[in-house]
Amino acid sequence: MPSLSDPATLIAHVIVFLLSVAAHEYCHAWVADRLGDDTSRRMNRLTLDPRAHIDPVMTLLLPGLLLIMSSGRFMFGQAKPVPVQTANFRHPSLGMLLTAAAGPLANLFLAAVAAAGFRAVEYDSVPWEVWADVNRGHMFALLVIETNLVLFVFNLVPIPPLDGSRVLRHFLSRSGQDLMDSLERFGLVLVVLLSTAGLGRVLGPIQTKLTEILLWQ
Protein backbone atom coordinates (compact mmCIF):
# COMPACT_ATOMS: atom_id res chain seq x y z
CA MET A 1 0.00 0.00 0.00
CA PRO A 2 1.48 3.41 -0.94
CA SER A 3 2.56 5.74 1.82
CA LEU A 4 1.06 9.23 1.98
CA SER A 5 4.48 10.50 3.09
CA ASP A 6 6.09 9.45 -0.21
CA PRO A 7 4.39 11.39 -3.04
CA ALA A 8 6.58 9.91 -5.80
CA THR A 9 5.72 6.35 -4.81
CA LEU A 10 2.06 7.27 -4.41
CA ILE A 11 1.98 8.78 -7.91
CA ALA A 12 3.64 5.66 -9.34
CA HIS A 13 1.02 3.48 -7.63
CA VAL A 14 -1.80 5.60 -9.05
CA ILE A 15 -0.39 5.48 -12.59
CA VAL A 16 0.16 1.72 -12.52
CA PHE A 17 -3.29 1.20 -10.98
CA LEU A 18 -5.05 3.27 -13.66
CA LEU A 19 -3.19 1.52 -16.50
CA SER A 20 -3.88 -1.89 -14.97
CA VAL A 21 -7.61 -1.32 -14.54
CA ALA A 22 -7.74 0.09 -18.08
CA ALA A 23 -6.24 -3.17 -19.40
CA HIS A 24 -8.70 -5.10 -17.21
CA GLU A 25 -11.74 -3.28 -18.58
CA TYR A 26 -10.43 -3.30 -22.16
CA CYS A 27 -10.18 -7.09 -22.09
CA HIS A 28 -13.75 -7.33 -20.78
CA ALA A 29 -14.86 -5.16 -23.69
CA TRP A 30 -12.71 -6.98 -26.28
CA VAL A 31 -13.99 -10.45 -25.37
CA ALA A 32 -17.61 -9.28 -25.26
CA ASP A 33 -17.16 -7.66 -28.66
CA ARG A 34 -15.62 -10.80 -30.13
CA LEU A 35 -18.52 -12.87 -28.77
CA GLY A 36 -21.12 -10.69 -30.49
CA ASP A 37 -21.92 -7.88 -28.05
CA ASP A 38 -20.71 -4.58 -29.52
CA THR A 39 -22.16 -2.44 -26.71
CA SER A 40 -18.73 -1.49 -25.38
CA ARG A 41 -17.53 -0.57 -28.87
CA ARG A 42 -20.54 1.67 -29.45
CA MET A 43 -19.97 3.35 -26.06
CA ASN A 44 -16.26 3.94 -26.76
CA ARG A 45 -15.13 1.55 -24.05
CA LEU A 46 -13.10 -0.70 -26.35
CA THR A 47 -9.92 1.23 -25.61
CA LEU A 48 -6.81 1.12 -23.41
CA ASP A 49 -7.19 4.84 -22.63
CA PRO A 50 -7.66 4.96 -18.83
CA ARG A 51 -9.85 8.06 -19.15
CA ALA A 52 -12.61 6.00 -20.77
CA HIS A 53 -12.75 3.68 -17.75
CA ILE A 54 -12.53 6.17 -14.88
CA ASP A 55 -15.54 6.62 -12.65
CA PRO A 56 -15.10 9.94 -10.78
CA VAL A 57 -16.48 8.53 -7.53
CA MET A 58 -15.43 4.87 -7.51
CA THR A 59 -12.05 5.24 -9.23
CA LEU A 60 -10.88 8.57 -7.78
CA LEU A 61 -12.93 10.00 -4.91
CA LEU A 62 -13.66 6.85 -2.86
CA PRO A 63 -10.13 5.36 -3.04
CA GLY A 64 -8.64 8.76 -2.19
CA LEU A 65 -10.91 9.27 0.82
CA LEU A 66 -10.31 5.75 2.14
CA LEU A 67 -6.57 6.16 1.69
CA ILE A 68 -6.56 9.43 3.63
CA MET A 69 -8.95 8.21 6.35
CA SER A 70 -6.88 5.05 6.92
CA SER A 71 -3.55 6.92 6.80
CA GLY A 72 -2.50 4.88 3.78
CA ARG A 73 -3.42 1.47 5.21
CA PHE A 74 -6.54 0.73 3.16
CA MET A 75 -7.84 1.58 -0.29
CA PHE A 76 -10.74 0.22 -2.31
CA GLY A 77 -12.00 1.32 -5.70
CA GLN A 78 -13.09 0.15 -9.10
CA ALA A 79 -13.22 1.32 -12.68
CA LYS A 80 -16.43 2.11 -14.51
CA PRO A 81 -17.88 -1.32 -15.39
CA VAL A 82 -17.93 -2.22 -19.07
CA PRO A 83 -21.55 -2.46 -20.28
CA VAL A 84 -22.48 -5.97 -21.40
CA GLN A 85 -25.73 -7.12 -22.98
CA THR A 86 -25.73 -10.89 -22.52
CA ALA A 87 -28.70 -11.26 -24.88
CA ASN A 88 -26.28 -10.49 -27.72
CA PHE A 89 -24.23 -13.59 -26.95
CA ARG A 90 -25.01 -16.83 -28.72
CA HIS A 91 -24.66 -18.57 -25.35
CA PRO A 92 -25.44 -15.85 -22.75
CA SER A 93 -24.20 -17.61 -19.61
CA LEU A 94 -20.98 -18.86 -21.19
CA GLY A 95 -20.42 -15.53 -22.88
CA MET A 96 -20.72 -13.74 -19.55
CA LEU A 97 -18.31 -16.20 -17.93
CA LEU A 98 -15.67 -15.62 -20.62
CA THR A 99 -16.17 -11.86 -20.58
CA ALA A 100 -15.92 -11.72 -16.79
CA ALA A 101 -12.82 -13.93 -16.67
CA ALA A 102 -11.02 -11.84 -19.27
CA GLY A 103 -10.40 -8.91 -16.90
CA PRO A 104 -8.63 -10.80 -14.09
CA LEU A 105 -6.72 -12.90 -16.63
CA ALA A 106 -5.45 -9.69 -18.24
CA ASN A 107 -4.06 -8.65 -14.86
CA LEU A 108 -2.44 -12.05 -14.37
CA PHE A 109 -0.85 -11.72 -17.81
CA LEU A 110 0.55 -8.26 -17.01
CA ALA A 111 1.96 -9.58 -13.72
CA ALA A 112 3.59 -12.48 -15.57
CA VAL A 113 5.16 -10.13 -18.15
CA ALA A 114 6.52 -7.88 -15.39
CA ALA A 115 7.90 -10.93 -13.57
CA ALA A 116 9.62 -12.09 -16.75
CA GLY A 117 11.22 -8.67 -17.07
CA PHE A 118 12.30 -8.78 -13.43
CA ARG A 119 13.93 -12.17 -13.89
CA ALA A 120 15.57 -11.22 -17.19
CA VAL A 121 18.01 -8.73 -15.65
CA GLU A 122 20.22 -9.77 -12.74
CA TYR A 123 22.65 -7.54 -10.90
CA ASP A 124 25.58 -9.82 -11.62
CA SER A 125 24.92 -9.64 -15.38
CA VAL A 126 25.31 -5.86 -15.74
CA PRO A 127 28.09 -3.34 -14.91
CA TRP A 128 27.90 -1.88 -11.41
CA GLU A 129 27.43 1.59 -12.91
CA VAL A 130 23.85 0.71 -13.92
CA TRP A 131 22.87 -1.10 -10.72
CA ALA A 132 20.79 1.90 -9.66
CA ASP A 133 18.84 1.76 -12.93
CA VAL A 134 18.37 -1.99 -12.55
CA ASN A 135 17.12 -1.45 -9.01
CA ARG A 136 14.57 1.11 -10.21
CA GLY A 137 13.48 -1.30 -12.93
CA HIS A 138 13.09 -4.09 -10.42
CA MET A 139 11.07 -1.86 -8.08
CA PHE A 140 8.77 -0.84 -10.93
CA ALA A 141 8.34 -4.46 -12.02
CA LEU A 142 7.44 -5.44 -8.45
CA LEU A 143 4.89 -2.62 -8.34
CA VAL A 144 3.28 -3.87 -11.56
CA ILE A 145 3.28 -7.43 -10.22
CA GLU A 146 1.78 -6.42 -6.88
CA THR A 147 -0.91 -4.19 -8.37
CA ASN A 148 -2.03 -6.69 -10.98
CA LEU A 149 -2.03 -9.68 -8.65
CA VAL A 150 -4.15 -7.69 -6.19
CA LEU A 151 -6.60 -6.97 -9.02
CA PHE A 152 -6.49 -10.59 -10.18
CA VAL A 153 -7.12 -12.15 -6.78
CA PHE A 154 -9.56 -9.52 -5.51
CA ASN A 155 -11.75 -9.55 -8.61
CA LEU A 156 -12.13 -13.32 -8.44
CA VAL A 157 -13.86 -13.11 -5.06
CA PRO A 158 -17.35 -14.51 -5.86
CA ILE A 159 -19.36 -11.56 -4.57
CA PRO A 160 -21.32 -9.30 -6.94
CA PRO A 161 -20.33 -7.08 -8.66
CA LEU A 162 -16.84 -8.66 -8.74
CA ASP A 163 -15.91 -10.80 -11.72
CA GLY A 164 -15.70 -13.96 -9.63
CA SER A 165 -19.47 -13.82 -9.10
CA ARG A 166 -20.05 -13.76 -12.88
CA VAL A 167 -17.78 -16.77 -13.31
CA LEU A 168 -19.39 -18.69 -10.45
CA ARG A 169 -22.91 -17.88 -11.65
CA HIS A 170 -22.38 -19.94 -14.80
CA PHE A 171 -21.95 -23.11 -12.73
CA LEU A 172 -24.86 -22.55 -10.32
CA SER A 173 -28.36 -23.97 -10.47
CA ARG A 174 -31.22 -21.66 -11.35
CA SER A 175 -31.96 -21.04 -7.67
CA GLY A 176 -28.30 -20.29 -7.05
CA GLN A 177 -28.26 -17.83 -9.93
CA ASP A 178 -31.36 -16.12 -8.53
CA LEU A 179 -29.66 -15.82 -5.15
CA MET A 180 -26.57 -14.34 -6.77
CA ASP A 181 -28.75 -11.85 -8.65
CA SER A 182 -30.53 -10.84 -5.44
CA LEU A 183 -27.19 -10.08 -3.81
CA GLU A 184 -26.30 -7.69 -6.62
CA ARG A 185 -27.92 -4.66 -4.98
CA PHE A 186 -25.98 -5.22 -1.76
CA GLY A 187 -22.79 -6.55 -3.33
CA LEU A 188 -20.73 -3.38 -3.24
CA VAL A 189 -21.58 -2.85 0.43
CA LEU A 190 -20.58 -6.45 1.19
CA VAL A 191 -17.28 -6.02 -0.64
CA VAL A 192 -16.42 -2.87 1.29
CA LEU A 193 -17.44 -4.42 4.62
CA LEU A 194 -15.40 -7.57 3.99
CA SER A 195 -12.43 -5.46 2.88
CA THR A 196 -12.49 -3.39 6.06
CA ALA A 197 -13.06 -6.56 8.13
CA GLY A 198 -9.84 -8.15 6.95
CA LEU A 199 -10.46 -9.69 3.55
CA GLY A 200 -6.91 -8.68 2.66
CA ARG A 201 -5.53 -11.03 5.33
CA VAL A 202 -7.22 -13.91 3.52
CA LEU A 203 -6.24 -12.86 0.02
CA GLY A 204 -2.73 -11.70 0.95
CA PRO A 205 -1.18 -15.18 1.25
CA ILE A 206 -2.64 -16.12 -2.15
CA GLN A 207 -1.11 -13.04 -3.73
CA THR A 208 2.22 -13.76 -2.03
CA LYS A 209 2.26 -17.36 -3.30
CA LEU A 210 1.46 -16.23 -6.84
CA THR A 211 4.29 -13.69 -6.65
CA GLU A 212 6.71 -16.40 -5.58
CA ILE A 213 5.57 -18.61 -8.45
CA LEU A 214 5.96 -15.85 -11.04
CA LEU A 215 9.40 -14.89 -9.74
CA TRP A 216 10.49 -18.56 -9.49
CA GLN A 217 11.23 -18.22 -5.78
Q: Which residues are catalytic?
A: 25
Q: Which is nearest to 163 in space by CA: 210, 103, 204? A: 103
d(CA 183, CA 190): 9
- Other Cβ atoms less than 10 A from the Cβ of 15: the count is 13
d(CA 104, CA 155): 6
Helical residues (DSSP H) of 48-162, grouped into ranges: 62-69, 92-120, 131-155
What lies within 8 Å, CB to CB, of 167 at 6+ separation is 97, 100, 101, 156, 158
